[in-house]
Structure 1
Amino acid sequence: MVHRLEPLVIRHVHRLPSPVGPAGQGAVAARQFDAALMSVGFKLSAELLARLSGLSEGTVVDTAVRTLGTVREMVGDHVRHNVYFVDFPANVPDTYDFWMRCVAEALADDAARPSVLEQLSDGLVNLLTLPSYGRYQHTYTEMLGHHEELIAAAGDRMTVLHLGGDTDAEVASLYLALAGSSTPLGEEDLRDLRVLAGHCVDAPQPETIPVRENRAVVNEARLKAGAELLLDTVTDVLRLACALSGGDVSLQAPTRFRALSRPVRRALLAGLDTVVAASPAKLADVHAHREAWKRLGERLHPHEYPRWPHAADVFAVARRDKEARSFDSRVEELLGMNDITGAAKLLKSAPGKLFRSLDRLLRLALDQDERLAVASAAEEVVGEVSGRVVLSVREHLANRAQDTGERRVFVNRLGRAWVTEDDRPPVLPPERERLIAVLDAEIRRRLPAPGHLLIDPDVLDVALPLSGRASAAGLGVLPRGSLSPVDGELLRFFVYWKEAERRTDYDLSALMLDAEFATVCWLAYTNLKDLEGEHSGDITEAPEGASEFINLRLGAVRGDFIVPQVNIFAGEGFEEVEESFFGFMLREGEQQGRPFEPRTVRMKSELRGPGRVALPLAFLRGPDGRWRAKWLHLYLKGTPVANRVEENRVSVATLLRGIVQREQLTVRYLTDLMDATTTTLWDGAKVPDGPVTYIGLQRPDGLHPDSRILTPENLRDLIPA
């Protein structure tokens, strides 16, 4: 179990739990371990290297084998990345010449010739029927023989692994951080929490579990261990039932409830009975998920347990055999009577709902007095609203200036995106500015005093992680809306996928746009090379896994935006394949090496989302000529088959325009509100001797042990409760 949990700690906090074993002379093995790590862009901290050097050689070797497997998967080096054109990026042919070569080779093939001749007589040839198209024409080993060894460069990525505490302490700390997170977790983090919750059910628990999805996962582990459940609403029970059935604890997608054992049914019904008995008004929450409650009732058989009558009331409300008027219906009744002041007064008893309704209330208000009543109600209860909601409303108001006609970008919880014109009336300046001032003051009040604040300047434009779903699992990944610098002469994208059951064809493309978001050019299987760079060649099936690359010379790019995308041409979706991920590398102009070099990888993210077109991020050229990455984590619906960059370039450009125009709350916003004794922008040189609050993209070596450290892996801890 200990070794099974160790990779979770490494992935989440970049710490290696303190290795345990007999003392010995492990210095040589430790240095070899460090060298092996450096080949994939990782390195041991000085403290961790010293710890390993004092252990036996066998202990160091065992630790190295486990750790190398974990970090290689983190960066995408656990699979073999082959390319269609063996010399890529050199000697990539002209697209038309390449297609004609494939036709000529097919005509020389006795088996393929009749089909090709028949197609030629009709004037149209299907590339997929040509034997030499879309399938690797050489082995991975043969491809390696065409590439020189990577030349090391100062700009290569180096991620430091630090020494952690003992494994149990590190696991417990990670569990508390994930379970007690004030923001929703992404899918991978939620899966990890499920594993940790089962291991830590008897360990110390967070003081509160504010995110309901997290609570459902924790309750699942507690139920299996026979511990007391953490329930305060009827919906907590519904989420738990979804977790037990392997369903969606966010309740966004319907769950097919499994047959439940009698002890589990008794536990759920007893929990429901306790919640409703303590507060009958909570029956009103049933209306939001009536159909799910009715399906669950078929599994729980509440009529068999007359000792829990309050639980039976839940299902009676779902069937509409019992009335329980919802809070939302009372609010809607007041709004239907144009009683905005009355609605605001009622919503004060549910501060979170009030804040989520502010825009609507202010738009419906008929005069200044009603707008003043809404703003006053918000000001009175702002201290009772979660920090995540306060920050979300603050960001929303920043984008609700008086001017109308801007594009409105919608992104759902799964990353599906679409754009419409914003035809809403504006939030008028007096109330907007008053509320922004109130929210800023409240956030400032909640932020802890950081003492000496040490900031990596590159983190200042990182968007606040108000939801784990606004990001993707992976290495070097930042929340949607973040900006990060891009330093290097060569930019190389990659996608890897492995089909599960049927032929699957993913196509990597890159769209170049000018300052007005008009198309300049693109690189894809239909345009293998241009002034900007080269495509590695189309792979049309992936039973053993497949990769595609695009190589770009940033100095040659025409235009101001680069938008890489992964289009599903045929086969399984991003959530159906056995594995799929995207990333990018940065190299200096003279660096050699294989098409995929792990220590040049700056970002690798999982592709797991709805839709048939993935937009992981975009690259923006600034006024100073420097490039920066803009993180998107978006999916477009696309078409069932044959998605191509040429067909979706208009919708991609429209979406990008809306994203670029939107103002994000960033780390800079929070650090400007912090009451620090000293603020230092870290230049990468020696760190201060005393304890600091450090905020950066990567933890520096040598920080004082009493320092508070915030990096992308735990940046959610920056969000005040």
Structure 2
Amino acid sequence: MEDLIIARRLRVPVDDAEDGTSGWGEVAARQLDAALLSVGFTCSPALLDRLAALPGEQVIDLGVRVLAAVRRLVGDHVEHNAYFIDFPKNVPDTLEFWVGLLREAMLDPVAAARLQPDILNLLDLPRYGSYQHTYADLLAAHAELIPLASDRVTVLELGGSLRDEARELYFSLAGSEVPLATEDLAALRALAAFCAEDQPEHVPVRENRAVINEVRLAAGQPLLVDTVTDVLRLASACSGGDVTLSTSTRLRSFRRAERRILLAALDTIPATKHGDVLRHREQWKRLGERLHPHEYPQFPRAAQVFDVARGVRTATSFASRVEAALAAGRTEEAVSLLEHTPGALLRRLDHLLRAGGGSAVLEAAERSAAHASGRVLLSLREHLQNRLAPVSRVFTNRHGRAWTTPDTRSPLEEEALNRTLAVLDEEITRRLPDPGELIVDPAVLDVALPLSGKAVAPGLGMLPRGSLSPVDGELLRFFVYWRQAERRTDYDLSALMLDSTYDNPTHISWTSYANDFATYSGDLTEAPDGASEFIDVRLSQATQPIIIPQVDIYAGERFDEAAEAFFGYMIRDAAQEGRPFEARTVRMKSDLRGSGRIALPLVFLRGDDGAWRVKWLHLYLSGHPAFNQVEGNRVTASLLVRSIVERDYLRVGYLVDLLRAKSSGGGHVTYIGLEAPADLPDGARVYTPATLHELIPA
């Protein structure tokens, strides 16, 4: 729980304790701060003062845990060796390197006997694909890093007690208006159990509701349900399955008390919503076998749910009635139906306008805007502003798997677009709170609003898809680390370089070690004890303005099957020297996951002014079952990246403009930025990337 709070909020929970003896706690606190600086972190003045007042032994114990947590956060908890010991120096030419390995193999009788006459298998060449030196050898070959003021220093703030910090994080995640990432759902489950005595009453996202209902069911508390699907999600969560219901779950048996609670919850759902059962009919049949509804005659409507699943009772889903009306050209009927579910109407607004709904559709949308969720309003706002200047459509699922297609839809009338945008802006403004005195860090204005967090794995420096941030260094270094769980696993770090038209591709990978401005650290083909690969890019010498790092699975375990897998990038000056991996120069690090075989975390772009910026992608390509490499996916990757780069994402700057128009200029302080400054007054409301989802109005 302590690790979770430090990683998610960069706050150190400190419980009350008796004051320590004079000097000893202060000395231990200073030692901890020095150790943290070596990995790019530091204690805030308030945290240092609080630690100095604790017994020295307690500070040491806490410090060991804090240091371990931040090292994991930045990726410094493992040893990052490189295939070429002098990397980025003395990296050989690709062909020269392979010829040298082949020559060695031919001169070695044992190795030569393994070579097949007609096939050159790189894995059969001696010394290829595995470390030829120890990590200690690597350290001895590199000079110490020269610290610079531009190195990352992340401030750890003083937190309250562990229980208070856990409760605050729990209510933040539970009350999120946007769906959470898989890791955040797991964190929510742990927090719900830890904070069992403090349960929120309002949980807007249904997947989050299923996780919390799991804890309520175990405690015998009433469930938060208003649709039959809420109960099915809960049953799946209790069985260790997928609460999104996108994959089937083998449901477990339920105790009699659990069956009674689940059936009682189902019995409260009106029959008009039983049509939702048809979406997951087979799962409902399996659940009926586990709940034995015939044993509970006091819950007749619950029994009807399973009758619908078995086809004994007919029920028409709301969605099917709307689709039937649209298919028959009865747009007015479809609009009339959709007005009962304002969010659904707004999600279909584009389709309804193209179907000839005219002013009636716009008037229904205006009425619905006051009753739909804030996330729906913002999503529609982003969608419509991209209809003003259409670009290729990009579709992304919850795993980050994406595909793109040209936009062949007929354009919307500009008058209807502007009218709807004005309605949305007015309604969103109405829901925003008065920020009082608003203070904004300009660096946060280009961060995309987190309208969904599903594809974004938590980590250091992570921003939502579509966000832009500056790159302010001479040397850009990508890195990937993985450790296989059960079978040989070969990941390949690569970089695709394109011109301003997303053409004329070149690449850096295990098939091309270097060009005029980039260098590869060498290929590792297995990782029983962990393996790291790096790519250096000298930005001032780069001849192509688009650089797309990627991680390809050449063989072995998927990202979510490996024991550990993460990607990140560092920024440093060329004169700093140092090891291939230096924690204090890491700007971003995040776990790799998902079922895709090719990861596209971000893209680096050089603007017309010569400055470099990074745009966040969080994408995965399906790829081939094996032997993925950058040369084989460059067309797909370039199309997808172009779709993301050219899309106009709704950014924090949009909400800031609305907040400024609503600000009273006095009273409390609201701060929005990438990091919270130390001089904010008590009671200030702070929004950073970790809490940006709280900016989304209800």
With the shorter chain as reference, the TM-score category is over 0.9
Number of the residue aligned with 1:693 = 670
Contact in 2 for aligned 1:48/1:163 (Cα 8 Å): yes
Aligned partner (choices 428, 431, 440) of residue 443 of structure 1 = 428
Name the residue aligned to 1:382: 369
Instruction: Give 1:18's aligned residue.
Output: 14
Aligned with 1:345 (options 336, 339, 348): 336
CA contact (8 A) 2:434 2:664 kept: no
1:221 counterpart (215, 218, 237): 215
Note the alpha carbon deviations across 1:682-706, whole angstroms, 9 max, x for none: xxxxxxx985211111111121111
Any conservation in 2 of the 1:514–1:520 contact (CA below 8 Å)? yes
Residues in 2 aligned to 1:48 and 1:546: alpha-carbon distance in whole angstroms: 36
Q: CA deviation at 1:582?
A: 0.3
Number of the residue aligned with 1:311:
302
Hey, what's the Cα distance between the residues in 2 that align with 1:694 and 1:305? Answer: 54
Is 2:343–2:368's contact at 8 Å kept on the other side of the alignment?
Answer: no
**1:539-618 matched pairs, under 5 angstroms:** 539-618=524-603
| Whole-Å separation in 2 of the counterparts to 1:248 and 1:231 | 18
Corresponding residue for residue 296 of structure 1: 287
1:466 aligned counterpart, secondary structure: coil
SS in 2 for 1:112: helix
For 1:459, give the aligned amino acid: V
Contact 1:453 1:679 in 2 (8 A): no
Q: Which residue of 2 aligns with 1:236?
A: 230
Separation of aligned partners in 1, 2:491 and 2:254: 40
Cα deviation code 1:506-551 (max 9, x no counterpart): 0000111100001342110111111112101000001111110001
Partner Cα distance (2:130, 2:449) in 1: 43
2:265 and 2:505 map into 1 onto residues whose CA distance is 60
AA matched with 1:259: S
Corresponding residue for 1:685? none
Structure 2 residue 448 is the aligned partner of structure 1 residue 454: no
How far is 1:90 from its partner? 0.7
Conserved? CA contact 2:345–2:368, under 8 Å: no
- In the alignment, which residue of structure 2 is the partner of 1:6? 2
Instruction: Indicate which of 481, 493, 509 corresponds to 2:478.
Output: 493
1:306, CA displacement in angstroms?
2.8
2:278 paired residue among 284, 287, 303: 287
Distance in 2, matches of 1:472 and 1:92, equals 33
Mapping of 1:23-42 within 5 angstroms? 23-24=19-20, 25=23, 26-42=25-41
Q: Which of 672, 690, 710 lines up with 2:687 in the alignment? A: 710
Identify the match of residue 136 of structure 2 among 128, 137, 141.
141
In the other structure, the counterpart of 2:246 is 252
- Structure-2 residue corresponding to 1:128: 123
Moved more, 377-386 or 260-269: 260-269
1:473-552 residue pairs with structure 2 within 5 A? 473-552=458-537
Choose the corresponding residue for 1:178, options 173, 177, 181: 173
CA distance in 2, matches of 1:467, 1:447: 19
Output one character per residue of 1:171-205: Cα deviation in whole Å (capped at 9) or x when no partner. Answer: 111111111111111111110000010111212x3
**DSSP 3-state at the match of 2:679:** coil
Q: Deviations over 1:416-464 (max 9, x none)?
A: 0111121111222121111111101111111111111111111100000
**Contact map agreement 2:435 2:668 (CA 8 A) in 1:** no
Q: 1:450–1:676: 8 Å Cα contact kept in structure 2?
A: no
Give the structure 2 partner of residue 653 of structure 1.
638
Matched, 1:270 2:264: yes
Deviates more, 1:303-312 or 1:406-415: 303-312
8 Å Cα contact 1:106-1:132 kept in structure 2: no
Unaligned segments of structure 2, at least 5 residues: none
Residue 209 (structure 1) shift:
0.5
Aligned equivalents of 2:197, 2:505: Cα separation in 1: 59
Write the letter of the residue equivalent to 2:368: V
* Corresponding residue of 1:107: 106
Question: 1:503 and 1:44 mapped to 2: Cα distance?
Answer: 41
**Matches of 1:441 and 1:231, distance apart in 2:** 31
Contact residue 567 and residue 613 of structure 1 kept, 8 A: yes
Decide whether the 8 Å contact of 1:21 with 1:59 is kept in 2: no
Distance, in Å, in 2 between the alignment partners of 1:27 and 1:151 is 28
**Ranges in structure 1 where 5+ consecutive residues have no aligned partner:** 681-688
* Candidates 380, 386, 392, aligned match of 2:379: 392
Letter of the 2:400 partner, please give it: G
Instruction: Give aligned pairs, total.
Output: 695
- The residue aligned with 1:683 is none
The DSSP-based 3-state class of the residue aligned with 1:162 is: strand
Which residue of 637, 652, 666 corresponds with 2:622? 637
- TM-superposed CA distance for 1:260, in Å, is 2.5
Give me the whole-angstrom Cα distance separating, in 2, the residues matched to 1:188 and 1:212.
Answer: 16
Q: Report the equivalent of 2:358.
A: 371
Residue pair 1:497, 1:546 contacting (<8 A) in 2 also: yes
Offset from partner CA, 1:478-515 (integer Å, 9 cap, x none):
00000011100000000011111111100000111100
SS at match of 2:575: coil
Distance 1:83 1:299 in 2: 53
**Post-superposition offset of 1:678:** 7.1
Specify whether residues 239 and 86 from structure 1 end up closer, same or farther in structure 2 by C-alpha distance, changes over 3 A only.
Answer: same
- Is the 1:508–1:567 contact (alpha carbons within 8 Å) kept by the matching residues of 2? yes
Partner Cα separation in structure 1 for residue 638 and residue 453 of structure 2? 26
Give runs of aligned pairs for residues 393-412 of structure 1, distance below 5 A: 393-401=380-388, 406-412=391-397
TM-score by length of 2: 0.97
Letter in 1 for 2:374: G
- Distance across 2 between alignment mates of 1:296 and 1:548: 47
* Backbone CA RMSD of aligned residues: 1.6
Please say if residues 294 and 319 of structure 1, whose CA atoms lie closer than 8 Å, have aligned partners that are also in contact: yes
CA contact (8 A) 2:173 2:188 kept: yes
CA distance in 1, matches of 2:426, 2:461: 32
Shift of 1:364: 1.1
Q: Which amino acid aligns with 2:86?
A: D
Q: 1:320 aligns with which of 311, 326, 332?
A: 311
Contact 2:438 2:660 in 1 (8 A): no
Residue aligning to 2:398? 413
Deviations 1:625-660, CA, capped at 9 Å, x for gaps? 000000000001111111111111111111111111
SS at match of 2:353: helix
- 1:691, 1:703 within 8 Å by CA — same for their partners in 2? no
In 2, the alpha carbon distance for the partners of 1:679 and 1:282 equals 44
Normalising to structure 1: TM-score of the pair? Answer: 0.94
Change (3 A) 1:189 1:42: same
> Any residues of structure 2 matched to 1:36-55 within 5 Å, and which?
36-55=35-54
Give yes or no for contact 1:520–1:558 (8 Å, CA) kept in 2: no
Identical-residue share of aligned pairs (%): 57
**Cα shift readout 1:537-595 (whole Å, capped 9, x = no counterpart):** 00000111111000110011111110000000001111111111100000012111110
Q: Which residue of 1 aligns with 2:321?
A: 330
| 3-state SS of 1:519 partner | coil
